[in-house]
Amino acid sequence: MLFNSINKKCLLPGFTLLFLLFSGTSFATEYDRGLENLTQTQHTFRSVAKKVSPAVVYIKVEKTHSSQSPSGPFPPFDQRFNGNDLFNFFFGFPPQSRQPHQAPQKRRSVGQGSGFLITSDGYIMTNNHVVDDADTVSVQMLNGREYQAKIIGTDPSSDLAVIKISEKNLPFLSLGNSNNLEVGDWVLAIGNPFGLSHTLTAGIVSAKGRSGIGLNDYEDFIQTDAAINPGNSGGPLVNLHGDVVGINTAIFSRSGGYMGIGFAIPVDMARQIKTQLIDHGTVKRGRLGVYIQDLTQNLAESFGLDRTDGVVIAEVIEDSPAEDAGLKAGDIVLEIEGDKVYKVTSFRNRIAMTAPNSKIKLTILRNEKRKKIDVQIGELDDDPSTSFKDKDTLPQLGITLQALTPDLAERMGYEGGQGVLVSSVSSGSLAEQAGIASGALIIEIDHHIVTSVKQAKELLNVERPLHLFLIRQNNQSRYLAIKIP
């Protein structure tokens, strides 16, 4: 009994010590595994940085402004930007005090952005807003060498541009596949935020297919939490293999800096556009000729559907490819070339990226019956009656005008009205001083009823001491007389 008692007392501490030793060994093993994984990730980031950085360029531009810089802090990203605001927002110019009674004066500004080489002979992809209206464009490589660049082509509708430098045997990046991206995938952003050359940041894909942001006519953004700041615009978003999956374009910010939400144009969209820009200098888009809307739950129920996949054709434009193919208002487009249609944005992008004169097959629902229709796609032109969005900037006034589509008329409260919509107003501009605000409807110019943006530009190009505007704003109509220098 004594032996057994002593033995039990001696064994218990021994077993306890043995257990602690095994626990310590297990902890050390898990720690080593975690450290090994982090080290591997670190080596991957290093490898990507070494592979990508030589092909990323620092872009400097000079351009002439005809209006003052905006004042105050950077505006929220979810507001629509005008050209001058956009340039300042992404290039990070410091705010300047507003002088509302000072006439707009021409001034030169120096801006910055990013880009990346896509060929060994000097073709560079970047954002349109980086080089738009630039007088001179220069490019600096990682090794410090500088080149003067030529603008090959720009596409404001997608905010993409291609420029070129005269050099051979340059490092360039491979274009990957953005369709294969999944939410949660690692991505790296590299560019020149705030002028800090070749800065690498890491994050994940936060979301895909973001649209309705209000920057571009054709939006299908990749959302990422990789830090993107003013100056990153036009730089590449790459995967862990160093392949480009997106072009960094915008941030959501209420301060002008990083807040965890950045947007990049998917490379699958950019690939098609850059080819056209290099070959032709412009982009030709397909045209169907319909006004469409998302299939909401209420609409789906009214059409006898139990799901909201598809888009509803609200109007078929006369003499359009859609009318020629026999499409009708009330048709629901379910598929395009066998691929399901979910939302208006993706459908519009798909049509726009379809080559003019090519044939596609649409699956529609009409009177609760599925039907396949062959359509020969037309070419989108500058005629407001055939375009998805007729939009242009009037620098002499400091405003951007947009066609009043039925959808916009309903959303803005202008049903049954006519005119052109003011989509943005530059700070310190003549329009702002006259009291014109974003969302105003211009009904007449110099006693002529305005029906298109093109007509508005033509009327304002006529030299007159004063131009007389009839506008509707805040549910009231009024006349404004504005002297344009």
Taking the C-alpha atoms of residue 341 and residue 359, their distance in angstroms, rounded to an integer, is: 17
Cβ contacts of 212 within 8 Å, gap of 6 or more: 219, 345
Q: SS3 string of the chain?
A: CHHHHHHHHHHHHHHHHHHHHHHHHHHHHHHHHHHHHHHHHHHHHHHHHHHHHHHEEEEEEEEEECCCCCCCCCCCCCCCCCHHHHHHHHHCCCCCCCCCCCCCCCEEEEEEEEEEECCCCCEEEECHHHHCCCCEEEEECCCCCEEECEEEEEECCCCEEEEECCCCCCCCCCECCHHHCCCCCEEEEEECHHHCCCEEEEEEEEEEEECCCCCCCCCCEEEECCCCCCCCCCCEEECCCCCEEEEEEEECCCCCCCCCCEEEEEHHHHHHHHHHHHHHCCCCCEECCEEEEECCHHHHHHCCCCCCCCEEEEEECCCCHHHHHCCCCCCEEEEECCEECCCHHHHHHHHHCCCCCCEEEEEEEECCEEEEEEEECEECCCCCCCCCCCEEEECCCCEEEEECCHHHHHHHCCCCCCCEEEEEECCCCHHHHHCCCCCCEEEEECCEECCCHHHHHHHHCCCCCCEEEEEEECCEEEEEEECCC
Domain that holds residue 324: 286-379
The confidence score (pLDDT) of residue 80 equals 33
Torsion on CA atoms 216, 222, 224, 227, rounded to nearest 10: -50
pLDDT confidence band for 61 (50 / 70 / 90): very high
The confidence score (pLDDT) of residue 90 equals 39
Q: 318 is written with which tokens?
A: 């006369």
CA 173 from chain centre, in angstroms, equals 21
How many structural domains comprise the chain? 3
**What's the mean per-residue pLDDT of the chain?**
81
pLDDT of residue 379 exceeding 50, the answer is yes
Whether 422 is covered by a domain: the verdict is yes
Q: 366 is written with which tokens?
A: 């009409």
Whether 427 is covered by a domain: the verdict is yes
The answer to whether residues 416 and 366 belong to one domain is no
pLDDT of residue 456 exceeding 80, the answer is yes
Q: 230 is written with which tokens?
A: 């003013």
The confidence score (pLDDT) of residue 477 equals 84
The answer to whether residues 75 and 127 belong to one domain is yes
Q: 336 is written with which tokens?
A: 């395009």
> Is the separation of the CB atoms in 55 and 171 below 8 Å?
yes
The answer to whether residues 336 and 360 belong to one domain is yes
pLDDT confidence band for 24 (50 / 70 / 90): low
Please identify, among 227, 260, 283, the residue that sits at the C-terminal boundary of a domain. 283
Whether 82 is covered by a domain: the verdict is yes
The confidence score (pLDDT) of residue 383 equals 37
pLDDT in tens, 308-338: 888 888 778 888 999 999 999 889 999 999 9
pLDDT of residue 182 exceeding 90, the answer is yes
pLDDT of residue 160 exceeding 90, the answer is yes
Q: Is 101 a catalytic residue?
A: no
Higher pLDDT, 413 or 244: 244
> What's the average model confidence in pLDDT over 48-68?
85
The answer to whether residues 263 and 305 belong to one domain is no
The answer to whether residues 411 and 340 belong to one domain is no
What one-letter code names the amino acid at 465?
P
The confidence score (pLDDT) of residue 313 equals 87
> What's the average model confidence in pLDDT over 186-200?
92
> What's the average model confidence in pLDDT over 381-385?
44
pLDDT confidence band for 377 (50 / 70 / 90): very high
CATH number at residue 402: 2.30.42.10
The confidence score (pLDDT) of residue 427 equals 75
> What's the average model confidence in pLDDT over 254-258?
73
Whether 329 is covered by a domain: the verdict is yes
pLDDT confidence band for 66 (50 / 70 / 90): low
Cα–Cα separations (whole angstroms), residue 40 to 33, 34, 37, 347, 384: 11, 10, 5, 41, 55
**β-strand 420-425 against 441-445: which pairing, if any?**
antiparallel
The confidence score (pLDDT) of residue 205 equals 96
Whether 60 is covered by a domain: the verdict is yes
Backbone angles phi, psi at 11, to 5 degrees: -70, -35
The answer to whether residues 96 and 147 belong to one domain is yes
> What's the average model confidence in pLDDT over 420-441?
85
Please identify, among 266, 283, 300, the residue that sits at the C-terminal boundary of a domain. 283
The answer to whether residues 342 and 438 belong to one domain is no
The confidence score (pLDDT) of residue 105 equals 62
The confidence score (pLDDT) of residue 16 equals 52
The confidence score (pLDDT) of residue 309 equals 85
Active-site residue (options: 85, 159, 220, 268): 159
> What's the average model confidence in pLDDT over 343-349?
86
The answer to whether residues 128 and 97 belong to one domain is yes
Taking the C-alpha atoms of residue 131 and residue 114, their distance in angstroms, rounded to an integer, is: 10
Higher pLDDT, 102 or 311: 311
pLDDT confidence band for 65 (50 / 70 / 90): low
**β-strand 441-445 against 448-449: which pairing, if any?**
antiparallel
The answer to whether residues 354 and 301 belong to one domain is yes
Closest-CA residue to 239 (of 191, 174, 161, 193)? 174
pLDDT confidence band for 93 (50 / 70 / 90): very low
Whether 407 is covered by a domain: the verdict is yes
pLDDT confidence band for 300 (50 / 70 / 90): confident
Taking the C-alpha atoms of residue 200 and residue 229, their distance in angstroms, rounded to an integer, is: 11
The confidence score (pLDDT) of residue 115 equals 96
Active-site residue (options: 69, 85, 129, 452): 129
Whether 155 is covered by a domain: the verdict is yes
Backbone angles phi, psi at 284, to 5 degrees: -100, 125
pLDDT confidence band for 141 (50 / 70 / 90): very high
Backbone angles phi, psi at 319, to 5 degrees: 60, 30
Q: Is 159 a catalytic residue?
A: yes
pLDDT confidence band for 27 (50 / 70 / 90): low
pLDDT of residue 35 exceeding 60, the answer is yes
Q: Is 132 a catalytic residue?
A: no
The answer to whether residues 254 and 354 belong to one domain is no
Please identify, among 379, 407, 431, the residue that sits at the C-terminal boundary of a domain. 379
pLDDT of residue 20 exceeding 70, the answer is no
Active-site residue (options: 158, 233, 426, 452): 233
pLDDT of residue 272 exceeding 60, the answer is yes
The answer to whether residues 322 and 407 belong to one domain is no
The confidence score (pLDDT) of residue 260 equals 84
pLDDT confidence band for 68 (50 / 70 / 90): very low
pLDDT of residue 144 exceeding 80, the answer is yes
Within 10 angstroms of residue 418's Cβ, the number of other Cβ atoms is 13
